[in-house]
C-alpha cells in the first residue's frame, strides 16, 4: 500500500507492494512508498493540475507508485517559497556553525534511515540495495557531513589596494538555486548539489529525474525533520520539458546546477540566456578512456576495466567505455576479460544473491542501449561478449554486459555516450598514440591509466584533458575531491571546497584610508 505520512498521500496499491506474493521471498524487503507528492514550503502537496505520473520498477516494468507531476505553476510556487525563505527567512541569516549543526543532524538521519532509503532508491532505479546503501546513501551522508563542516569556513579576503584605500571581499549566498539531478545516483546527486548550497546559505528548488523521484522526496522530509526551515528545500518531481524548463528559465532563480546529458545541458544554457542570464553549472556526458600499459598487472587491469565499464549497469557519466590496451599484452588482456565476463551475473538485485548487474533504469534507456549495440554490429565491430537482452524471467530491462573488439575511432559506439553496459576494447602501440586517442573526443570528464611506471603515469595525467584522472584505480571519489569535466562534459565542480563557489557571490568592499601611517 502506498501511504504518505500525516501530510496526505496516495491511496493505491502498487505492483511493488504485491511483489512478495507474486515472486516469492526476496532478499531485500520492498519498501513502503510513503512520499509521492510535491514538497513545497515544508509540506507535501498535490500538483496544481492534479496530474500524476507513474514511476516504474525496471526489474518488471510494473508501477511502483503514482507521483504528483509538477508543471510551471508548481515550479512558480516552489520558487516563491524558496525566495521568501532566502529573502526573509532565518537560514541565510544563521551563523555558519548553526547551519552546520542542522546539516550534521540531516546526515545522521540519512544514516539512520539508510536501509529504507537504499531499498527505495534501488526499487526505483534497478540497483542492488546493499551496494546502494554502502555507495549511494553512504556518499549522500558523507557529502552532507563534509559541507556541514564547511559552513562556518566561508571566508573573504583582505585587499592591499593602490592609493589610500583598503578593501575586502565578502562571499555571500547567491540566492535561490535551481537543481536538476539525474536518475543514475539519485541520493548521492541530491546531497552533492544540496549540501554545498545549504552550507552557503542558499534556498533550493530540486527537480529529480522523472525515472527516480522517490528518494528526493524522502530526503526532503528528513531535511524537515533535521530542522531545515520550511521553504529552504523544495522538491518538484516532473518532466524536463515542463518542470525542468520552467526552473531553467525562471526569472527569480539565481543559478542552475544540472547533471545529465549534453543535449539537455545546451537547452538549459539557452534558457538561461533567454531569461535572466543566471549562471549555469553543468556536469554532462562522458566517453572516458582507460589506458592499460604493457607493464600493468593484468589481473588488476581486467578488474578495473570491468568495474569502470559495468558498475551501476554502465549508467555512469564517467564510465570507462573506451578501454585502450597496449598491443604487447592486448591478446592476453582480451582473453582474461572474456573469461571474467563469463562469471558476471545479470539478475534481479532484490532476489538473486549472485547478481552483479541489474536492469537498465527504464524502457527508453534499455532500447537506447540496444540500438547502440546494433550500431556497433552494423559498423563492423566484433562482439566479444554479450550484446543481447537477458531478462531473467522475461520481464524487465536487462542487457548482457557487452564488449566490442575491432572498434575504430570513427564508429558511433566509440564516439557517443551510450550510458549502458557496453565497452569498446581497442589496442595501441605508444604512449603518444594512447594520449592522442584518449583526447580524440568531444568529452573530458574522466580517464584512467594502469601502469607501474611513474613517469608514464605522470605523463598521461598531465596530457589527458579530463576533470579527473585515476592512476591504478577507478571510481575513487570522495566528498573532498572536486568532480567535474571539461569540453562538452561541462564546467563547474561538485564536491570539494570548489563546489561552494557555485552557490556564492563575491562582493568587493572598498573604503578610504584616512591619515593612515601605513599605505
Q: How far apart are CA 364 and CA 405, in angstroms?
A: 26
Which residues fall in the annotated binding site for NAD(+)?
A: 181, 183, 207, 210, 261, 283, 417
Pairing of strands 255-259, 43-45: unpaired
Q: Look up residue 515 and give its DSSP letter.
A: S
Domain formed by 38-284, architecture: 3-Layer(aba) Sandwich (3.40)
Q: In this structure, are residues 455 and 477 in contact, taking their beta carbons and an 8 Å threshold? A: no
Q: How far apart are CA 375 and CA 295, in angstroms?
A: 33
Q: What is the DSSP string of 253-314?
A: --EEEEES-HHHHHHHHHHHHHTT---EEEE-----EEEE-TTS-HHHHHHHHHHHHHGGGG
Residue 479: all three cell numbers together:
566528498
Q: Domain limits of the chain? A: 38-284, 289-477
* Beta-bridge mates of residue 170: 507
Pairing of strands 422-428, 402-405: parallel
Q: In this structure, are residues 121 and 214 in contact, taking their beta carbons and an 8 Å threshold? A: yes
Q: How far apart are CA 367 and CA 7, in angstroms?
A: 38
Pairing of strands 233-235, 203-207: parallel
Look at residues 204, 208, 186, 184 and name the one whose alpha carbon lies nearest to residue 196: 204
Catalytic machinery residues: 283
Look at residues 65, 70, 69 and name the one whose alpha carbon lies nearest to residue 120: 65
* Beta-bridge mates of residue 43: 40
pLDDT in tens, the chain (519 residues): 233 333 333 332 233 334 433 444 678 888 899 999 999 999 999 999 999 999 999 999 999 999 999 999 999 999 999 999 999 999 999 999 999 999 999 999 999 999 999 999 999 999 999 999 999 999 999 999 999 999 999 999 999 888 889 999 999 999 999 999 999 999 999 999 999 999 999 999 999 999 999 999 999 999 999 999 999 999 999 999 999 999 999 999 999 999 999 999 999 999 999 999 999 999 999 999 999 999 999 999 999 999 999 999 999 999 999 999 999 999 999 999 999 999 999 999 999 999 999 999 999 999 999 999 999 999 999 999 999 999 887 899 999 999 999 999 999 999 999 999 999 999 999 999 999 999 999 999 999 999 999 999 999 999 999 999 999 999 999 999 999 999 999 999 999 999 999 999 999 999 998 877 766
Q: How far apart are CA 235 and CA 70, in angstroms?
A: 9
Which residues fall in the annotated binding site?
A: 181, 183, 207, 210, 261, 283, 417
As assigned by CATH, the class of the 289-477 domain is: alpha beta
Q: In this structure, are residues 325 and 428 in contact, taking their beta carbons and an 8 Å threshold? A: yes
Amino acid at each position: 500500500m502506498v501511504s504518505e505520512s500525516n501530510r496526505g498521500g496516495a491511496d493505491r496499491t502498487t505492483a511493488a507492494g504485491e511483489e512478495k506474493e507474486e515472486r516469492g521471498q526476496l532478499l531485500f524487503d520492498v519498501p513502503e512508498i510513503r512520499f509521492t507528492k510535491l514538497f513545497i514550503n515544508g509540506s507535501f502537496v498535490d500538483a496544481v493540475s492534479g496530474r500524476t505520473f507513474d514511476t516504474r520498477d525496471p526489474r518488471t516494468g510494473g508501477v511502483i507508485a503514482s507521483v504528483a507531476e509538477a508543471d510551471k505553476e508548481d515550479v512558480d510556487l516552489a520558487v516563491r517559497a524558496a525566495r521568501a525563505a532566502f529573502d526573509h527567512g532565518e537560514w541565510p541569516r544563521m551563523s555558519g556553525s548553526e547551519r552546520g549543526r542542522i546539516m550534521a543532524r540531516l546526515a545522521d538521519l540519512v544514516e539512520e534511515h539508510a536501509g529504507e532509503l537504499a531499498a527505495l532508491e534501488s526499487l526505483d532505479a534497478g540497483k542492488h540495495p546493499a551496494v546502494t546503501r554502502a555507495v549511494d546513501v553512504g556518499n549522500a551522508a558523507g557529502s552532507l557531513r563534509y559541507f556541514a563542516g564547511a559552513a562556518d569556513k566561508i571566508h573573504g579576503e583582505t585587499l592591499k589596494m593602490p592609493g589610500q584605500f583598503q578593501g575586502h571581499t565578502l562571499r555571500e549566498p547567491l540566492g535561490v538555486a535551481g537543481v536538476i539531478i539525474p536518475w543514475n545516483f539519485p541520493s548521492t546527486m541530491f546531497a552533492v548539489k544540496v549540501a554545498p548550497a545549504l552550507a552557503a546559505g542558499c534556498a533550493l528548488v530540486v527537480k529529480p529525474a522523472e525515472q527516480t523521484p522517490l528518494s528526493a522526496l524522502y530526503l526532503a522530509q528528513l531535511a524537515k525533520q533535521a530542522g531545515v526551515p520550511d521553504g529552504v528545500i523544495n522538491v518538484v518531481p516532473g518532466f524536463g520539458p515542463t518542470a525542468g524548463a520552467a526552473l531553467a528559465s525562471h526569472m527569480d532563480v539565481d543559478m542552475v546546477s544540472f547533471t545529465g546529458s549534453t543535449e539537455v545541458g545546451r537547452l538549459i544554457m539557452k534558457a538561461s540566456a533567454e531569461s535572466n542570464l543566471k549562471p549555469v553549472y553543468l556536469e554532462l556526458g562522458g566517453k572516458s578512456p582507460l589506458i592499460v600499459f604493457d607493464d600493468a598487472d593484468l589481473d588488476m587491469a581486467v578488474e578495473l576495466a570491468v568495474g569502470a565499464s559495468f558498475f551501476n549497469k554502465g549508467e555512469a557519466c564517467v564510465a570507462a567505455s573506451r578501454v585502450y590496451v597496449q598491443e604487447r599484452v592486448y591478446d592476453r588482456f582480451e582473453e582474461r576479460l572474456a573469461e571474467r565476463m563469463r562469471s558476471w551475473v545479470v539478475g534481479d538485485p532484490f532476489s538473486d544473491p549472485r547478481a552483479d548487474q541489474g536492469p537498465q533504469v527504464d524502457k527508453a534507456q534499455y532500447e537506447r542501449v540496444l540500438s547502440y549495440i546494433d550500431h556497433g554490429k552494423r559498423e563492423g565491430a566484433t562482439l566479444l561478449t554479450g550484446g543481447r537482452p537477458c531478462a531473467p524471467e522475461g520481464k524487465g530491462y536487462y542487457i548482457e554486459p557487452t564488449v566490442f573488439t575491432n572498434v575504430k575511432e570513427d564508429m558511433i559506439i566509440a564516439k557517443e555516450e551510450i550510458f549502458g553496459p557496453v565497452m569498446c576494447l581497442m589496442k595501441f602501440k605508444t604512449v603518444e598514440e594512447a594520449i592522442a586517442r584518449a583526447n580524440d573526443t568531444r568529452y573530458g570528464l574522466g580517464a584512467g591509466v594502469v601502469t607501474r611506471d611513474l613517469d608514464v603515469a605522470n605523463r598521461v595525467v598531465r596530457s589527458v584533458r579530463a576533470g579527473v584522472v585515476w592512476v591504478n584505480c577507478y571510481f575513487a571519489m570522495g566528498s573532498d575531491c572536486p568532480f567535474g569535466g571539461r569540453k562538452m562534459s561541462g564546467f563547474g565542480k561538485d564536491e570539494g571546497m570548489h563546489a561552494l563557489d557555485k552557490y556564492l557571490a563575491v562582493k568587493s568592499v572598498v573604503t578610504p584610508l584616512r591619515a593612515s601611517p601605513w599605505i
